[in-house]
Chain A
Amino acid sequence: MTGPVAPALRVTGLRVTFGGGTDRDAPGLTGVTLEVAAGERLVLVGASGAGKTTLLRAVAGLVPIDEGSIEIGGKDVTRLPPERRGAVYLHQSPVLFPHLTVEENVAFPLRIRGVPQGEARKRVHEVLDAVRLADLGHRPSGALSGGQRHRVALARAVVARPSLLLLDEPLSSLDPGLRHEIRDVIVHLQAQVQVQIEAQGEDPEARGHNRAQVQPGLVLVTHDLEEAGLLGHRVGIVMEGGLAQLAPPEEIFRAPATLEVARFLGYRNELPCAPGSGVEARLFGGVATKDPGEAEARNVARDVGRDFRAGNTAAGSRSVVVLPPGSVRVVPASRSSTLSEGEAGEGRGRWVPLPGRLRHLAHPGPRPLARVEVDLPNARPVLLEAEVEDAALADARADASGSFEAGSPVVLLVDVSRALRF
């Protein structure tokens, strides 16, 4: 190997229309540009119909594209049929060949490539071992449980050592226990498989002779944010046929690129800031706040080829402040005046109190969720949500003057250093 290896996947300016490109067709994907490094896991998330599966199928060669180029393992595959792309596409529910046994299913990619029987048998046993199905090799594929079928499909996908794995919602039909198991299998298999990818060098002639042993790239589609965070080295948010943001999961959650992305992530606490309303002054008071613009926006523009943020900021002078989960705490009104700075903010951030009235206390998880109506200067009251911490509940119980009854006065403490302004 003389240079860095080519990316497992490079998509440039991809445009796909549903239905073959006639005038009446709705755009499926527009201007999608992304790279997946060898050994990297990119997770695509987005609402239904956003274009995630279309992107995956376009890369696999199962959907005709209108514009753009696709490289897999350093080779331009834009005009190649699916079988010559070096990428395996797996459907949401595993599709095993019903007339073949488990072993025969896994051996299928090797058989059609003409791999000698001895070598094929060895590789099949290795990969079946890796997914802990070595004992079930002779079983008909129809006699497997759901989890076993998933493992066979994954084993079959990697046995031919493709440069790229494309998994379309592989965990969505599984129960939570099985989902955990298959997630581990995916990570394990990707780490085990070694594929040959072209090394990139200065000399184009020498490039073809220099191949590096690397792990395959993996692109996985899901609509589950937790799954995306757990599996992905990077997460791509697909919206309206484009990539709204492409970044490591921690960055996505810390600094969503647009208001739409923030909403997709489930950030429900929004404060509308009309010009002159004084909301921003009340919250920030001249303090420089965290603005997801600039660096992240530049990153998005470079990586994605589409500046979502520019469209947002150009929309007008009205802006929205989004308060991410964990940046809002609720305390009884009686307790707020006695909180020290350290108590309120656990030593970090700048906490601004917003008085309000408890509308409702729900129990969606281990901690109660308070919905609080907050009065804003020169604006309509807004409803904000905050998890009620154990300490706040204990305070409310201990202090007769403070409570979490519906209608009781409470105070929301907002960590403005984590607030996002769009």
Chain B
Amino acid sequence: MRWATARSRSEAPGAPPAGATRALRWVLFGVLFLTTLLPFGVLVVTSVARSWFWPDLLPPTVSGDAWTELLRGGGRLAPATATSLLLGLSTGALAVAMAFPAGRAMARLRGWRRHLAAGAAFLPVAAPPLAVGVGLQYSFLVAGLGGTLPGVLLAHLVPAAGYVSLFFLGVFAVHDDRLEVEARTLGATPAQALFHVTLPALRRPLLEGFVLGFLVSWAQVPLTLLVGQGVVPALPLEVLSYVQAGQDARAATGAILLVIPPLLVMGLAGFALRDRPVVVA
């Protein structure tokens, strides 16, 4: 029956022929490969290459020094990775903690009030990170937070909380707040309604918001550089410094490290939510 359905669909008036559809699919796969997987493959090769120059198609000799150094905890990549992970996970968690009530409050506003609140949340997102960083740098120096991990964390929270607040504004705009009303009349206190109904029902967007906050922090260069003043060793900064120094193998190893944790976090979040309904209510 499925065959019949597919056949009748492909034979429907105006539908492209099955062969053309198949060809287009392969072209799209090819484009995806060239733009995503091939550069990643080049990174992997670069991370083990030694003296690899143009026009050589492949490196003449290979070495696992960069990886060995990383796995042994030597060099600067390992501590930078740990710092970035700590920053990313903390930023994700704190951004959700801040943005969840903010998004909920914004969704309850109507008319110009909601526009104003959403605009305020959007401001740190819309402003160039460099401009935000320069502004924060001075304030944080005065507050004694310049060049400290908490300072960088707070700086990361500025755009992350903005992004995640806007995300939760969207979530709560379609969230059915009758869930809480129903819970209250069934005997739940506001806290019980929040912890037994709202948060579990919104587990998916909560995890998605966390991943969003993590990603904003993980790839943050200008704010880390300006507020951390080069003292806080975040992974993107180390990769940049290796690139500037021409240490391609270490730079490539760091770049691969930059890719892996976000994929892992997204994969784990997807796994944790595999049976969760997509609906937010």
Knowing A112-B192, A142-B277, the reply to whether A88 touches B201 (Cβ < 8 A) is no
B182 & A98 in contact (Cβ 8 Å cutoff): no
Knowing A95-B176, A97-B197, A112-B196, the reply to whether A83 touches B181 (Cβ < 8 A) is no
Closest to A142 in B: B277
B182 & A83 in contact (Cβ 8 Å cutoff): no
Cβ contacts B161-193/A at 8 Å (1 or 0 each): 000000000000000101101111111110010
CB distance from A52 to the nearest CB of B (A): 17
A95 to B186, CA, bound (A): 12
CB distance from A83 to the nearest CB of B (A): 5
B187 & A113 in contact (Cβ 8 Å cutoff): yes
A89 to B183, CA, bound (A): 10
A85 to B178, CA, bound (A): 18
B58 touches A (CB below 8 Å): no
B185 & A87 in contact (Cβ 8 Å cutoff): yes
Q: Which residues of A contact B184 (CB under 8 A)?
A: 62, 81-83
A278 touches B (CB below 8 Å): no
Closest to B201 in A: A99
A157 touches B (CB below 8 Å): yes
B200 & A99 in contact (Cβ 8 Å cutoff): yes
B279 touches A (CB below 8 Å): yes
Q: Which residues of A contact B192 (CB under 8 A)?
A: 83, 112
A83 & B200 in contact (Cβ 8 Å cutoff): no
Cβ contacts B200-224/A at 8 Å (1 or 0 each): 1101000000000000000000000
A91 & B178 in contact (Cβ 8 Å cutoff): yes
A89 to B182, CA, bound (A): 7
A55 touches B (CB below 8 Å): no
B281 touches A (CB below 8 Å): yes
Knowing A95-B178, A99-B200, the reply to whether A83 touches B188 (Cβ < 8 A) is yes
Count of chain A residues with a beta carbon within 8 Å of a chain B beta carbon = 27
A95 to B177, CA, bound (A): 10
A156 & B201 in contact (Cβ 8 Å cutoff): no
CB distance from B185 to the nearest CB of A (A): 4
A34 to B188, CA, bound (A): 27
CB distance from B72 to the nearest CB of A (A): 45
A98 & B187 in contact (Cβ 8 Å cutoff): no
Cβ contacts A368-388/B at 8 Å (1 or 0 each): 000000000000000000000
B200 & A108 in contact (Cβ 8 Å cutoff): no
A60 to B203, CA, bound (A): 29
A98 to B278, CA, bound (A): 10
A157 & B186 in contact (Cβ 8 Å cutoff): yes
Q: Which residues of B contact A160 (CB under 8 A)?
A: 186-187
Per the 8 Å Cβ criterion, residues 126-166 of B in contact with A are none
B188 & A112 in contact (Cβ 8 Å cutoff): yes
B181 & A62 in contact (Cβ 8 Å cutoff): yes
Q: Which residues of A contact B181 (CB under 8 A)?
A: 62, 82, 89, 91, 95
B277 & A62 in contact (Cβ 8 Å cutoff): no
CB distance from A180 to the nearest CB of B (A): 25
Closest to B195 in A: A112
Contact partner of B186 (CB less than 8 A), chosen from A61, A81, A98, A156, is: A156
Q: Which residues of B contact A112 (CB under 8 A)?
A: 186-189, 192, 196
Knowing A81-B184, A88-B186, A91-B178, the reply to whether A98 touches B201 (Cβ < 8 A) is yes
Closest to B186 in A: A109
Q: Which residues of A contact B179 (CB under 8 A)?
A: 95, 97
Q: Which residues of B contact A100 (CB under 8 A)?
A: 200
- Give 15 pairs: A residue, B residue, CB < 8 Å, sorted on A: A82-B185, A83-B184, A83-B186, A83-B187, A83-B189, A83-B192, A88-B186, A89-B181, A90-B182, A95-B179, A95-B182, A97-B201, A98-B277, A99-B200, A109-B187
Extra inter-chain contacts (12) besides given A97-B200, A100-B200, A160-B186, CB under 8 Å: A83-B185, A83-B192, A97-B179, A97-B182, A98-B279, A99-B200, A99-B201, A108-B196, A112-B186, A142-B277, A156-B186, A160-B187
Which residues of B are at the interface with A, using a C-beta cutoff of 8 A?
176, 178-179, 181-189, 192, 196-197, 200-201, 203, 276-277, 279, 281
